[in-house]
A and B are shown apart, each in its own frame.
Chain A
Amino acid sequence: MGIIDNRYDFVFFFDVEFGNPNGDPDAGNMPRIDPETGFGLVTDVCLKRKVRNYVELRKGGQEGFNIYVREKAVLNDQHRMAYTACDLEPQSRKPPKCGDDSRRLTEWMCANFYDVRSFGAVMTTEVNCGQVRGPVQFTFARSVDAIVPQEVKIIRMAVTTSKEADVQHGENRTMGSKYVVPYALYRMEGFVSAALAAQTGFSEEDVALLWESLLNMFEHDRSAARGKMAARKLFIFRHDNKLGNAHAHVLFNTITVESVGGAEAVPARSYADYRLHIKKDLPGSVTLLEKL
C-alpha cells in the first residue's frame, strides 16, 4: 500500500480504574503527577511502548513489522529480516561511507521495523545526524481532572528468605504497597506528518495499524499494577493534503470534556461521569474520524 498522503492530528482518550497507568521512577513509582496542577501524566514513551507491544503481538514478527525497541527480545526471531536485504550483500567489505549506502541501510531499517518507520530511531546509519525522524509524534497524556493517588498497603503471607522468617519467628509476613489512581480520564494529543512519512515509507497500512494499536493496546497490557485501563475515544483529524489545512490547536480545541455533575460533582469514578463535546464545524478540507 502506498505512503500516506494526508496529515493527521489526533486526540486520544483513555482511562484507568484503580490502577497505576504510569509510575514515576523519581517518586517511588507513584503515578506521575504534574506538580503545578495535580493533573496525572502519562509519558509519550510509555504509550509508544504499548503500541510497540501491540504491533509485535498482532503481527508476530511478520516481515516488515519487526519491532526494534523490544522487550527482552529473542534474537533468533529476527532471522528473517535479512532476507529482504540481498541487494546490499555484494559490496560492503568496509562500512559504507556516507551517501547512498547509508541511505540504503536506513531504508532497510525503515522497511523492516515498524517502530523505526513510525517513531524514528537514532541510528548511526543515517547521513544527517544519524537519526531517522518518524512521522508519528506522541505528546504527554494528561488527565482531565486533578488526580489523587492512593497508597494501598498490602500484605504477603510469605517471606523471601529464611533469614526473614527467623526474625519473624515463623510469622512470615511482608508488607508492600502499591499506588492506585481511583479513576482518571486521560487525554493525549498526537501528530502524523505525511511529509516525514515519505522519508520512512510509512504507509496507509501502517497508519491503520497505528489507530488499531491505540484502540487495542490496553487490552493486552493487563497487570497487577495497571488496574483496568481502556481506550475510550480516538478522534482523528484527517487533512486533505500533506501539509494540512488547519492549525492543530484549533482542531484540538473543538473537542472538550465536561464533568456530568458540573463543578460541584463528587470526584469522577467512571467514564460515565464525563461527557465529550465535539464541535462539528471544521474547516472544509479536514475530516473528523471518530473511533470507538
Chain B
Amino acid sequence: MAHGIRLLVWGEYACFTRPEMKVERVSYEVMTPSAARGILEAIYWKPAIRWVVIRIGVLNPIVFDSIRRNEVGETVSKDKVVQALKHKKPLELVANDVRVRQQRTSLVLRNVAYVIEARFELTERAGPDDSFGKHLDCFNRRARTGKCFHRPYLGCREFPAHFELLEGTMPVSKLWDHPSRDLGVMLYDIDFSDDMTPLFYHPRIEGGVIEVARYWKESRQ
C-alpha cells in the first residue's frame, strides 16, 4: 500500500444505477469504481491528483429493496432561462405539474458496507510542490477525522455514505465463502476527457472482493 489507502464506507441504502435501466432505476449488485472514486473525491481531491480504484471489498450480503417515488420528468431548459432574461418574461417552469410528474421505482441496495482500496496518480496539472506524500497525508488526515468536502454518497445523494479510514486489518466479508461469480458487464467510469464516454469492465466477485484493477486491465485488452 505504498501510495494506497483503504476506506471503509457504509450506509443503509445505495443505488449504483445501471445505465441501461435509468428510467426506473435498478442498482448494480455492487458499487462501481466510478461511485468509489466519487466517494474519495468527496473527501479529498485536487486537480493535481487522480484516484484509481484497485479493489472493492463487498462486506455485506447483496439485498435489494424497491422504493417508488413521485419524480419530475423534466429539466430546466437553457433556452427558457435565456428567454426569461432577455424579454423579462416569466420563467415558465412548472416542475410539479401533473404533466411532468412521474412515478418511478428504484430498485436499491440495502445495508451496504464496502472497503475501497485505491491509490492516486499525479496528473499533468501537478506542480513541483505536489508529492504523493503530501496528498496522501491530506487524504488520510481528512478521512481519519471525518472531514469531507461534501457528504459522500452511495450512488445517489439521498443515500449518504459514512466512512472511516481503515488502518488496521481488513474486516471479514460476509461473502468470504461464497463461490466466485461473474458480475456481468459493469460501468467502470465515465471518461470526462473524452466527451463523457462511459467505460465498461467485466468483473468477478471472489470471496467478497472485486479486483478492480485486474479486471479493468483484462477488459481493456
Contacts and interface: CB of A to CB of B under 8 A. Distances in A.
B119 to A, nearest CB: 22
B221 interface: no
B183 interface: no
Interface string B42-72: 0000000000000000000001011111111
Interface in B52-110: 63, 65-72, 75-79, 81-82, 84-97, 103, 105, 110
A270 interface: no
A162 B57 CA distance: 64
Nearest to B103: A25
Given A26-B68, A123-B78, A247-B164, 19 more contacts: A69-B72, A69-B96, A71-B96, A77-B90, A82-B85, A82-B91, A92-B82, A105-B82, A109-B81, A124-B75, A130-B75, A137-B151, A139-B158, A139-B159, A189-B160, A191-B150, A243-B142, A243-B148, A249-B162
10 closest A-B pairs by CB: A247-B146, A193-B150, A26-B68, A243-B147, A82-B88, A249-B162, A123-B76, A44-B158, A191-B151, A69-B95
A248 B145 contact: no
Contacts of B16: none
Interface in A131-189: 133, 135, 137-140, 142, 189
Contacts of B84: 81-82, 85
Interface in A45-61: 45, 49
A79 interface: yes
Given A88-B85, A191-B160, A245 B147 contact: yes
B201 interface: no
A245 B146 contact: yes
* Secondary structure call for the A interface: mixed
A25 B68 contact: yes
A19 to B, nearest CB: 18
A143 to B, nearest CB: 13
A245 B82 CA distance: 41
Interface of B: 12-13, 63, 65-72, 75-79, 81-82, 84-97, 103, 105, 110, 142, 145-151, 153, 157-160, 162-164
Contacts of A196: 150
Contact of B78 (A24, A45, A125): A125
Interface of A: 24-26, 32, 34-36, 43-45, 49, 68-73, 75-79, 81-83, 85, 88-89, 92, 95-96, 102, 105, 108-109, 121-125, 130, 133, 135, 137-140, 142, 189, 191, 193, 195-196, 243-250
Contacts of A95: 78-79, 82
Contacts of A123: 75-76, 78, 81
Given A133-B157, A243-B142, A92 B86 contact: yes
A75 B103 CA distance: 24
A72 B103 CA distance: 17
Nearest to A120: B157
Nearest to B94: A73
8 contacts: A25-B70, A34-B65, A45-B71, A95-B82, A105-B81, A108-B85, A124-B78, A243-B149
A64 B88 CA distance: 16
Nearest to B79: A95
Contact of B93 (A24, A43, A68): A68
Given A82-B84, A137-B157, A249-B162, A68 B95 contact: yes
Pick the most buried of A35, A82, A105: most chain B CB atoms within 10 A of its CB. Answer: A82
Contact of A75 (B67, B81, B92, B163): B92
B197 to A, nearest CB: 14
Nearest to B67: A43
Given A82-B85, A105-B81, A248-B151, A36 B110 contact: yes
Contacts of A82: 84-85, 87-91
A134 B37 CA distance: 20
A25 B24 CA distance: 14
B97 A73 contact: yes
Contacts of A85: 84-85
A27 to B, nearest CB: 8
B185 to A, nearest CB: 23
A193 B93 CA distance: 27
Contact of B76 (A25, A96, A109, A243): A109
Contacts of A70: 94-96
Nearest to B71: A45
Contacts of B148: 193, 243-244
Contacts of B63: 36
A61 B220 CA distance: 54
Contacts of B95: 68-70
Nearest to A76: B90
A108 B82 CA distance: 10
